Structure formats: C-alpha cells, structure tokens
Structure 1
C-alpha cells in the first residue's frame, strides 16, 4: 500500500501542521495528541491505519523523554499500564468489527464523560480506590485499541486529584507511551499493522518533536490553575467535536 497516495500537497501540509499542533498540546497539557491528530489522519488513511500511525508517533515522542517519565510518574501508572496491555487487543478487535457510526457514538460519550469528570472538585492525593484505578486501566485499554485515544479515562483520574502537575503529566504520558506500544503489538498480532506506517511516522516526527518541545516550555511558565483550565478546554473541545461527528 502506498500510504502517501491519498495525500496531495495540501493534505501533507495539513498532516504536518496537525502533528505540530497536537504535539504542542501534548507538551502543554500532558495529553491530547491522539484526540487531535487521529481525525485528520483518517481523512486520507483508513481508521485502523490512522490509529496505528498515531501509536507510532506516541511511542517515538514518549521514548525521547522516557527518563523523566519514569522518574516522576506515580506508582498507580504501572497498574493502569498492565490493564491497558491486556485490554487493548479487545478494543482493536472491536474497531475492526464495528461500523464507523457506532465507533463515533462510543467515542463521543466517553469524551463527554471525561470532560464532565474534569469539572468535578479536585480530590486528595490519596483518595483513589483500587477499583477506580482498575476501571481506568480497562477503559483506557479499550479506548487505545478502539480509537487510539487512551486519554479520556486517564486524564480526569490524574488531573482531577490534588497531586503535583509534574506527577500528573508524567503518569499520563508514561501510560500513553505504553498504551501506544500495546496498540502496535496488538495490531501486529492481529495482522492489522502495515509496517510502512513507521516510515510515515518518521516523516511526521520532526514536527511532533518541535511541537512537544514548545508545549513543554509554555507549560513550565504558566500557573497550575491556568494549566488545569487548558486541560479542561482541550477535553471540552474534544467532547464537542466527538458529539458533532456522532450526531451532526
């Protein structure tokens, strides 16, 4: 398959801009890259290829900052990662077996629930139950396989608690990196992964690297309240876009 066949010059420019912009949001908030870039990539690729290409980009950028993520992440991230690895193949299988209309509705309601959850009062650092952690891990894995978007369940879990911003961001990004790895492994195991996607990801990666670097710099210069407002705005925008696609 010629992965570039569906892209004209304008589409390639749009993909590069989307890669830069989505990575900027990732660096700023700690999430959001997949939510923003998958729909744009899906204009020229199949939904499965768009999800798997985004997984490649997420792994590439995650590995570039893995030391910081391992140092700052909360221990709960590892429990979530284990469950994500187990449930991602199920999500990817469901993606291949269901229609785009059903997928849009499911994604819309999950995105909306994440936005509502982020509006709830902040909780204490220790106020999270193992059952909640387990539910987040299972749902995140299903979303990783189904939509390449592990963030909607994970973001409220960390941002909604009263923990340091560095811990929240590192925990989320470590989960997203491992979730994307699980998505690629699942895609390969199910025979759905075209390895030419790795080359396309490499072509887009410089834009991702630059956007992520700029987002990190901006994030380090804003107050915690402003950062949380940015997180809520991105989740809200994603929820509105998902609802529009599902019911518009």
Structure 2
C-alpha cells in the first residue's frame, strides 16, 4: 500500500505533468513547491529533474519531427555556457535576491510580449544563443531556466506545435545538465530513484492528458496560456524571494 506521502507526490506529479503536456513547460514550476511540502527541497528538485530526464528520452523519439532544430541547438549550447556564469554570480547575489531580479525581468519581458506579436515566424540564431546563455544563467542563479527560452519562442513567432516540442526537448537538455551535479551532491539516492520509478506512470498519464488538451488550442490560445504560465512563475519566484526579506 502506498504511503500518504507517496500518494500525494504521485498526485502532484500528475497535475504538473498535465501542465507540461499542454504548455510544453512548467513541470518543475508546479511540482517542486508542492512536493517540497512533503519532502526536503533538494529531494523535490532531484525528483523533478529525474522525471524530466525519463520522459525526455521518450520525447526524443515522439517530438523530433516537430522541433525547430537550429534554435534548439543554439539554446542548448548557450545553456551549457550560461550555467557556470549563473553559479559564479551566486557569489555576488543570494538565490532569493536572484529570484526577485529574475521575476522583475520576466514580468518586464512579458509586458513587451503582450504588446508585440510577430506577423510571421522569424527565429533568429543569435537571439537563440543569447536566450540559451540567459537560460543557463537563470538556472545557475535560481534553478529557473525556462523564462528566456519561452520568451524567445513567443517572440520568434514559431508555431504552437514547434514551440511546445522545442521547449519540451530544451528542458530535457537542461535536466541532463543538472543531473551530474545532483549525483555529485549525493541527491540521487535510493529514495529519489524509487520515487521516480513509482511516479513515472503518473507523469506519462498527465503528459498524455495535457497533450490531448493541447490539440484543442489554436496558436493564439496557446500564446495566452504560455504568457499566463510565465507570469505565474514570475510571481511565485518573486514571492518566494520577497518572503525572506519580509
């Protein structure tokens, strides 16, 4: 019989996977705060990363035909370069201060995106690389790689299908980059591996349900959803950072 903690973790994973399936991002945003109520924060982060690695292996085969490969490659290369920069910046800025700064930057970017909507797709290779570096830096500073990548695709005007698929695989790459550090820190242990295996069915089912809901969205609806999820992530991150100073 499953313990209460395990059952609640499975429920949190299912709900977060639904968000991931419909938007292409937001899994860790939703899962980590909820799971942290039941498990230590490090275990919650580790579980989210391992689950995204597991489901990302499947996404490689199911989504490769929909991905915008040039931008995904540049985002990934940029993230590899940017992550150490973010970690280094932690020596000057605390994680909570970083969350506040990132939240303000995200909200400012979203204000621009709401006023600007590209008339036709025009992915820019240099901007993709810059967004990748920013994603890596955001990840190193506050474990938030998503905002620059999401903002890049919304500004580039790629289709909802391409945007969602590219983001899903980008976060797979970001999770792969985070995994060695978690292993070296001893966060990947028997308990986190066991919970990962137990939660995979909920992850798969939630992703499937979210993917089914995504097929009912047009590009305008998807854009609104993505902006709403981004705004929520900024507010949650900013609130978490401010809580320390209040």
- Normalising by structure 2, report the TM-score: 0.83
Partner residue in 2 for 1:245: 240
Partner residue in 2 for 1:3: none
Equivalent of 1:59 in 53, 76, 82: 53
- The 1:100–1:88 alpha-carbon spacing in structure 2 relative to 1, beyond 3 Å, is closer
1:23 equivalenced with 2:17 (yes/no): yes
Native 8 Å contact 2:18 2:206 kept in 1: yes
1:33 equivalenced with 2:13 (yes/no): no
Report which stretch shifted further, 142-151 or 94-103.
94-103
Distance 2:157 2:104 in 1: 26
- Name stretches of at least 5 consecutive residues in structure 2 with no aligned partner: none
Distance 1:97 1:41 in 2: 29
Correspondences of 1:195-234 after superposition (within 5 Å): 195-196=189-190, 197-234=192-229
Report which stretch shifted further, 16-25 or 194-203.
194-203
Distance 2:45 2:33 in 1: 9
Structure 1 residue 246, shift from structure 2 partner: 2.4
Distance 2:121 2:21 in 1: 23
- Name stretches of at least 5 consecutive residues in structure 1 with no aligned partner: 1-7
Structure 1 residue 234, shift from structure 2 partner: 1.4
- The 1:203–1:65 alpha-carbon spacing in structure 2 relative to 1, beyond 3 Å, is same
- The 1:114–1:39 alpha-carbon spacing in structure 2 relative to 1, beyond 3 Å, is farther
Partner residue in 2 for 1:128: 124
1:156 equivalenced with 2:140 (yes/no): no
Native 8 Å contact 1:54 1:148 kept in 2: no
1:191 equivalenced with 2:191 (yes/no): no
- Normalising by structure 1, report the TM-score: 0.83
Native 8 Å contact 1:73 1:170 kept in 2: yes
